Amino acid sequence: MSSQVKIAATYMRGGTSKGVFFMLDDLPPAAQVAGEARDKLLMRVIGSPDPYGKQIDGMGGATSSTSKTVIVSKSERTNHDVDYLFGQISIDSPFIDWSGNCGNLSAAIGPFAIHAGLVPPSRIPENGIVEVRVWQVNISKTIVVHVPIVNGSVQETGAFQLDGVTFPAAEIQVDFVDPADGDGAMFPTGNLIDDLIVPDIGTLNVTMINAGIPTVFVDAAAIGYQGTELQDAINNDEAALVMFEKIRAHAALKMGLIDDIDQAKQRQHTPKVAFVAKPSSYQTSSGKTVLASDIDVLVRALSMGKLHHAMMGTAAVAIASAACVPGTLVNMAAGGGEKQSVTFGHPSGTLKVGAKASETKQNGWIVEKAVMSRSARVLMEGWVRVPADTINAF
């Protein structure tokens, strides 16, 4: 039997997600660069691929929210503290999607960077807020994480309640700077609403946006939903999951993210697919009542082929960006008109996200910054162990 190798790691919750965090220099040399060695190591850490879908022999939690890894290093980029690389690991397939960011875990990068000594002590107040400037490597964007400091240390506990997380914690503001796609228009087709032809489903009105994370929005009623659905209503319906994947794949093709429909299988993390509806009262997964008057719009989103239990942070940026542009499906479901923030209802509760959109002659619609509150906490730190043959093969 192979012996095991220890690798320094930190297990953290960020927003409604959690993952295993590594310093780049702590990884074995072969895994410090992109490629097969890195992917196999991280999959083994998480416990994928697992045909049972449970990730029992790894750190993953058998959901898209908990099958995640993060690699952090000191940034050499001007005005940035750290570089942050995110890997979304498939549960049952030997695959890591590096195509997008995790907005929830973005909140944890600031505290992790401070704990790891990547922020100069001179920048850390005795009491107050320290801004950690993060370069998000997957999407080449800047994120600013506002970390609360008490008595010279990161404040992780507090009274801030985030729907989708059971226990309260300290509030962390996360700014996604210029979140639209840096290589193209925020609306990749140039349209606020497109006709998307999906075989066996029909032609759907959709809003496709590259902000936070590439996302396609569909009107809930057009596909037979109300927008108040919880996880079981979608995730226990195989026909529904097949439908959503078809929508996602054909949207990916129309957005220019893939060249052939079959490539969608190798790009599971992006784009996201979400459906929206006008406000309506409903009960959350924890039994709490959300009133129609509490929200501007209802949104349900899928991640890695399943309805998310709350909302992905990057998808929240996409929601806010689309809501603040008059004429999109999200904006119209939210009542139309100009907006600078939106409060949306998701399966676990509500979330308010700010975004300032403006239309320019040169680049069309742009969003300068999207802002939301998250929380984060170190759950465990030390080492993960992986069988030595995972590393020795390289």
pLDDT, position 360: 87
Give per-residue pLDDT as tens, 146-198. 999 999 999 999 999 999 999 999 999 999 999 987 666 899 999 999 999 99
Q: What does the pLDDT look like over 229-271, one tens digit per residue?
A: 999 999 999 999 999 999 999 999 999 999 999 999 889 889 9
Domain segments of the chain: what residues?
Answer: 4-171+377-392, 194-369
Concerning whether 312 is annotated as a catalytic residue, the answer is yes
Confidence band, pLDDT 50/70/90 cuts, at residue 363? confident
pLDDT of residue 393: 82
User: Is 324 in the active site?
Assistant: no
Active-site residue, from 312, 324, 332, 372: 312
**C-alpha distance from residue 382 to each of 65, 153, 265 (Å):** 22, 19, 35
Q: How far apart are CA 311 and CA 5, in angstroms?
A: 35
Q: Which residues of 366-383 are buried (b: 16+ CB within 10 A; e: fewer)?
A: bbeebbbbbbbbbeeeee
pLDDT over 90 (residue 367): yes
Non-local CB neighbours of 241 within 8 Å, separated by 6+ positions: 234, 235, 305, 306
CATH class of residue range 194-369? alpha beta
Query: Each residue of 125-149: pLDDT tens digit?
Result: 999 999 999 999 999 999 999 999 9
Q: Write the CATH number of the domain with boundaries 4-171+377-392.
A: 3.10.310.10
Per residue in 207-234, pLDDT tens?
999 999 999 999 999 999 999 999 999 9
Instruction: Give the residue among 255, 284, 265 at the shortest CA–CA distance from 346.
Output: 284
**So what's the pLDDT on residue 117?**
97
User: Do residues 209 and 251 make contact, with C-beta atoms less than 8 angstroms apart?
Assistant: no
Q: Quick one: pLDDT band at residue 362, thresholds 50, 70, 90?
A: confident
Q: Do 194-369 and 4-171+377-392 fall under one CATH topology?
A: yes
pLDDT at 266: 86
Residues 60, 236: Cα–Cα separation, whole Å: 21
- Separation between Cα atoms, residue 185 and residue 390, nearest integer Å: 41
Indicate the pTM of the whole model. 0.93
φ/ψ of 254, rounded to 5, equals -70, -30
How do residues 29-50 score in pLDDT, each as one tens digit? 999 999 999 999 999 999 999 9
Which pLDDT does position 361 carry in this prediction? 82
CA separation for the pair 303, 212 (Å, rounded): 14
Catalytic residue among 102, 186, 255, 332: 102
